[in-house]
Amino acid sequence: MSESRPAVLFVCVHNAGRSQMAAGFLRAIAGDRVDVYSAGSEPADQVNQVAVGAMHEVGIDIVGQTPAILTTDAVRTADVVVTMGCGDACPVFPGKRYEDWELQDPAGLPLEDVRPIRDDVRARVERLVTSLSV
């Protein structure tokens, strides 16, 4: 974690859809004012291609991202941990700020059903940025 900027970790089960979209939005909105990480408790082999397409529609490229395994060190590094359905697999450390975003998993959904999830993620990330005061 940088002394001058907060670190945010987005966590979902497969780190292929919701958390990747959230990380993409946070990078686009906050730029280098926030350190952005994402991980999954059971990471997929690749990012959900429908999520990639949904993000492309709003000008954000997440095609080069790779799902990563959630580690204790990643949680320890983060100032804010945003979980999205990983349940008990997410380690909890005292003194960390946690948010649990209840979002539908886009896995297996067509693009028209992923768009509202994407838009919900964007609104939540915008609120998060405001709360970080960056």
Q: What is the pLDDT of residue 48?
A: 96
Average confidence score pLDDT of the chain: 91
Q: What is the pLDDT of residue 2?
A: 44
CA angle 20/24/27 to nearest 5° reads: 135
Short-list 94, 121, 122, 117, CA closest to 107: 117
Tell whether 18 is covered by a domain: yes
Give the model's confidence band at 4: pLDDT under 50 very low, under 70 low, under 90 confident, else very high. confident
Task: Check if 86 is active-site.
Answer: yes
For 108, the domain range is 7-120
Q: What is the pLDDT of residue 89?
A: 61
Tell whether 73 is covered by a domain: yes
Q: What is the pLDDT of residue 87?
A: 62
Task: Check if 130 is active-site.
Answer: no
Got the DSSP string for 58-100? TT---TT----B--HHHHHH-SEEEEES-GGGS---TT-EEEE
Task: Check if 124 is active-site.
Answer: no
How far apart are alpha carbons 98 and 9 in whole angstroms? Answer: 10
**Three-state DSSP class for 21?**
helix
Active-site annotation holder among 90, 103, 121, 125: 90
Tell whether 32 is covered by a domain: yes
Higher pLDDT: 127 or 4? It is: 127
Q: At 102, which CATH number? A: 3.40.50.2300
Q: How many domains does the chain have?
A: 1
pLDDT digits (tens, 9 = 90+) for 54-103: 999 999 999 999 999 999 899 899 999 999 976 656 667 788 899 999 99
Give the model's confidence band at 1: pLDDT under 50 very low, under 70 low, under 90 confident, else very high. very low
Active-site annotation holder among 23, 55, 82, 86: 86
Active-site annotation holder among 8, 12, 54, 55: 12
